[in-house]
Amino acid sequence: MSSKRILMGNEAIAFGAMKAGVQIASGYPGTPSNEVMETIASHAKEYGIYAEWATNEKVALETAVGAAYSGANAIVTMKQVGLNVASDPLMSLSYIGVKGSLVILVSDDPGPHSSQTEQDTRVFGHFANIPVLDPSTPQEAYDMTLLAFELSHEMETPVILRTTTRVSHGCADVVIGDIFPVPRDIEGFVKDTRWAIFPKLTAQRHPLLEDLQLRLSDRFSEYFGDNSFNSVSKGSSRIGIAASGVSYLYAMEAIRALSGVFPVFKTATVYPFPEKAALEFLKGITDLIVVEELDPYMEEQFLQLAGKHHLNVNIYGKKNGCFPVSGEYDVDVVIDGINSSLEKGNTDIPGLSHSLPAINLKEVPSLPIRAPTLCAGCMHRTVFYAFKKAAGKLRSQKDIGSVFSGDIGCYTLGNARPLNMVDTCLCMGAGISIAAGLSHTQEYSSNGKAKQVAFIGDSTFFHSGIAAVVSAVYNNADITIAVLDNRTTAMTGHQPHPGIGITAVGSPAKIIDIAEVLKSCGVGLVRTIGADSLEGCIDAATEAMQFEGPSAVVFREKCIAISKGAGQYIVDEDKCTGCKLCISQLGCPAIFSITSGLPVIQDTCSGCGLCAQTCPSAAIILKEVLQ
Amino acid sequence: MKFDILIAGVGGQGVVLASRLLATAAMDAGFHVATAETIGMAQREGSVTSHVRIGDDVYGSLIPQGTADLIIGLEPAEAARNLRYLRKGGSVVVNGHAILPSTQGRGSEEYNPDRLIGFLNDNCPNIISADFTRLAKDAGTYKAANVAMIAAAAGAGLLPFSQEYLWDVLEKMIPEKYRDVNRSVFDMAIESISYTKGMGMESAASNETR
């Protein structure tokens, strides 16, 4: 039996995995991949699945690898930059292979909307010799998840299921099959030399790995004709279009007015590239327009193929400037790209036209810039402001400057005006190590002394902060670590982590106390305080920054997005002098003013009281007090 | 058939819930749907949009410019920011309740919501503009402005399916303790629209906007 439901692409993948009989699921949160694990975890008890959030993507992958070695069906989930963290086990795993099945869900983020990079996992799969499936819709994501588990088991290789934001975070009506409790029939781990990588084993396995790539390429070519993931449609012209993922849909919508003109090559099995089918397609055309987001991966495959077989085909894509090399595509981007290709190709096919907006956009009045910002009542704002104040004291009293290294999470938003508290940000866990690196340059600097401060969130601390702390202590880096412990993995949608005593499926777990970890690593000064008192935070920040050698403060307060506020503040207009420090210093989204008026606090105020503590005229008071 | 709806707002206003509601109701009414949602960093008070595409002639989930049949703007500036999507003859439902960013962009002109609402009313022939945040607040919670706006769109006959499909979905989607307040928001919005419909598309409530 099957049923039709509205599912987000990520949910569809989770249902696909459960339909395929996944037994073990691990992952680390990262937008846009989160809902795959969240959906599996929420059904874990019902279907008897083991689901967990691991401390990072490398750990998650290795956990899933162990499960797959024993014959289990396993999935591991992460975002594209998470794959970088997991790349060490990944690169070795392709040689070793798996026994049960292992699907690696990796979500790419063209744009990017919520990421540090615009990397392309299709290329990563190519680099790692691991097959990559690239669905274009939530339905295809569901169907290809089933295929991924089958392929992984049959070929004894991990399989990457790669999505992009628009597949992961789009909803559609999806037909899914009934799901049953998972079988408990795996063989278990069988000792064998194949599981222990060693230079000799690598040398033996490498030719087999390369042979597998050829077999998979052939298999994927065979899919043309007998499954809907890969297809070739005929056209009246000799100008072909090749596309994969969501770009295929944009291309089809773009050429709708000229339907039947362009032959179209669509593949969802992008690596190993289905060369035989692609070659067949190339032989029937004179020009090829490649429509793909992120890297010119397919374009390079086609160029290579045309070169290898001396084919006289013009290929248009990113490499000759017809399509943008970065950013997300949509129908309008693809129309421009196809038109640019048609023009370059000097064809007699008319260009495609855009639909004209109803309103002359030049007449729209200027709009406010609305950058993402920390929530009203977010504890991070108090901590950032406290460090700003403490740094001011350090500068005025001791002529010591401060550098603030940030990290990945909600608190990256501390970079926005007026806080301006993120001087560096690179990747998960980098803040502490970068601060250490900066501190070691102190004696080479001719520009005076600067204290190095690293901000790191609770989940990021467990992800990759601890190794950096150990190294900083070992090498006596003069840094202050500010742990922004809001008791959740906030930015990605509030997943639990090892510090809060609850697992992915809601079971109780041992709490790993961050302050105790810092102490056991040998950090000289470790304080834990709440973030409700600005003065208390300034004192703690000052003490830590004036400490010589590694010091740390754990600021602990519940994330305001998932907790009840403490009331609402209001501006007492009789007392307010209109200095607007509450606005110019804090940037809280609950407070605004128009140029001529006094500050106004909106309904979104959650009562953290930071503005009240900042106001020099005591003009911000709790609503109940005024009434 | 194809019907494209673009929902625009500020992170935290419930744009994602609004698009799920529309998508599920559309599926229940027998249509194919595809949505694209903003999830992630922009949800922290940034500009967010959801694209909701309904019908058999839908390809990808992103609406091309100039083809949206309906723009639902939970905030005036966010409605205006997405006007490029509006097709000729398309409709706009806009919430007059402005959310002023705490920090005005450097060098950008000060945000003047009244001017924007005026522009929208003057330039969009099929527009319903009202303070849906106030309507929702009067009915129990300002947070349900999203529900009010979708109910208003349904009440004005701007959706390709009837309001019953919407309520059926809402009832299942919303936790029991919030159901009554959402029901009254839903009903009040539809009531306010049937009142204004007699006066043409432009809402009597539009002068209430701040």
Summary mean pLDDT of chain B: 89
Question: Does the beta carbon of A594 lie under 8 angstroms from any beta carbon of chain B?
Answer: yes
Residue closest to A490 by CA, chosen among A563, A540, A435: A563
CB contact under 8 A, A172 and B36: no
- In this prediction, residues A304-315 reach a mean pLDDT of 97
Which helix (H) or strand (E) is A124 found in, with range? helix A121-128
**A549-592: pLDDT as tens digits:** 999 999 999 999 999 888 999 999 999 999 999 999 999 999 98
Whether A252 and A217 share a structural domain: no
* Cβ contact A114–B40 (<8 Å): yes
Indicate whether A341 and A439 sit together in one domain. no
Of A489-498, B106-115, B129-138, give the lowest mean pLDDT range: B106-115
Cβ–Cβ under 8 Å, residues A306 and A333: no
DSSP β-bridge partners for residue A398: none
Q: Measured between beta carbons, which residues in chain B are less than 8 angstroms from residue A594?
A: 100, 110
- Flag if A166 and B103 touch (Cβ within 8 Å): no
Q: What is the CATH number of the domain that holds A300?
A: 3.40.50.920
The last residue of a domain, from among A222, A242, A266:
A222
Strand (E) or helix (H) holding A212: helix A199-223
Structure token digits, residue A611: 């503005």
Q: Is the pLDDT reported for residue B208 higher than 50? A: no
- A185 has pLDDT over 70: yes
Q: What is the CATH number of domain B2-102+111-207?
A: 3.40.920.10
DSSP, res A48: T
Number of C-alpha atoms within 13 angstroms, CB side, residue A334? Answer: 28
Q: Are A172 and B19 in contact (CB under 8 A)?
A: no
Q: Both A149 and A270 in a single domain?
A: no
Q: What is the pLDDT of residues B12-51, one digit of tens each?
A: 899 999 999 999 999 999 999 999 999 888 788 899 999 9
Instruction: Please say whether the beta carbons of A537 and A555 come within 8 A.
Output: yes
Q: Which residues on A lie below 8 Å from B38 (Cβ)? A: 113, 169
Residue A38 and residue A178 in one domain: yes
- Give the mean pLDDT of A159-170: 98
For helices A246-254 and A331-344, the axis angle rounded to 10 degrees is: 70
Is residue A237 domain-shared with residue A321, that is, in the same domain?
yes
Domain count, chain A: 4
- Find the helix packing angle between B163-173 and B145-155, rounded to 10°: 160
Asked whether B34 and B60 are in contact (CB, 8 A), the reply is yes
**CB contact at 8 A, A172 and A7:** yes
Q: Which of A189, A204, A222 is the last residue of a domain?
A: A222
What is the structure's pLDDT at A169?
97
* pLDDT value for B74: 97
Check residue A588 and give its pLDDT.
94
pLDDT of A626 > 70? The answer is no
A281 is in which domain, residue-wise?
Answer: 231-345
Q: What DSSP state is assigned to residue A351?
A: P
pLDDT at A259: 86
Residues A187 and A256 in one domain: no
Give the global pTM.
0.96
Residues A479, A594, single domain; the answer is no
Q: Which residues of B touch A249 (CB under 8 A)?
A: 59-61
H/E run at residue A102:
strand A101-108
Best A171, A366, A413, A486 member to test B by mutation, with max B CBs in 10 Å, is A171
Is residue B73 within 8 A of residue B95, CB to CB? The reply is yes
Confidence of residue B101 (pLDDT cuts 50, 70, 90): confident
CATH of the domain at A208: 3.40.50.970
* Integer angstrom CA distances of residue B181 from B147, B169, B174, B177, B196: 11, 15, 10, 8, 23
pLDDT for B207 beyond 50:
no
Task: Supply the pLDDT for residue A627.
Answer: 56
Whole-angstrom Cα distance, residue A533 to residue B63? 47
Highest mean pLDDT, choosing among A414-418, B69-73, B188-192: B69-73
Is residue B162 predicted with pLDDT exceeding 60?
Answer: yes
Q: Verify whether the Cβ–Cβ distance B103 to A418 is below 8 Å.
A: yes
The kind and range of the H/E element at A485 are strand A479-485
Residues A528 and A580 in one domain: no
Nearest-by-Cβ selection for B110 from A335, A591, A595: A595
Q: Which residue of A has its CA nearest to B89?
A: A358
Q: Which of residues 4-33 of B touch A (CB under 8 A)?
A: 10-12, 19-20, 23-24, 27, 32-33
Kindly tell me if the per-residue pLDDT of A622 is higher than 60: yes
Strand partners, A483: A456, A554
* Domain shared by A403 and A507, yes or no: yes
Per-residue confidence band for B111, with pLDDT thresholds at 50, 70 and 90? confident
Q: Is residue A356 part of a domain?
A: no
Please enumerate in sequence order all residues whose Cβ is within 8 A of that of A516, keeping only pairs 6 or more positions apart, or say none: none
- Per-residue confidence (pLDDT) for residue B104, from 0 to 100: 56
Ramachandran angles phi, psi of A127, nearest 5°:
-60, -40
Does B104 lie at the interface with A, CB-CB under 8 angstroms? yes
| Interface contact flag, A373 B80, Cβ < 8 Å | no
Residues A405 and A421 in one domain: yes
Q: How many CB atoms lie within 10 A of CB A627?
A: 6
Question: What's the ipTM?
Answer: 0.94
Q: Which residues pair with A133 in a beta bridge?
A: A161, A269
* Record: contact B34-A413, CB cut-off 8 A: no
Q: What percent of chain A has pLDDT over 70?
A: 100
* Same domain (yes/no): A269, A313: yes
Query: What average pLDDT does the segment B178-196 reach?
Result: 88
* Sign of the four-CA dihedral A555, A556, A561, A565: negative
Question: How many residues comprise chain B?
Answer: 210
pLDDT at position A347 is: 86
Report residue B196's pLDDT band, with 50, 70 and 90 as the boundaries. Answer: low
The answer to whether residue B206 neighbours chain A at the CB level (below 8 Å) is no
Per the model's pLDDT, the better-predicted residue between B42 and A383 turns out to be A383
Q: Does residue A202 sit in the same domain as residue A260?
A: no
The answer to whether position A577 is within a domain reads yes
Residue type, B152: A
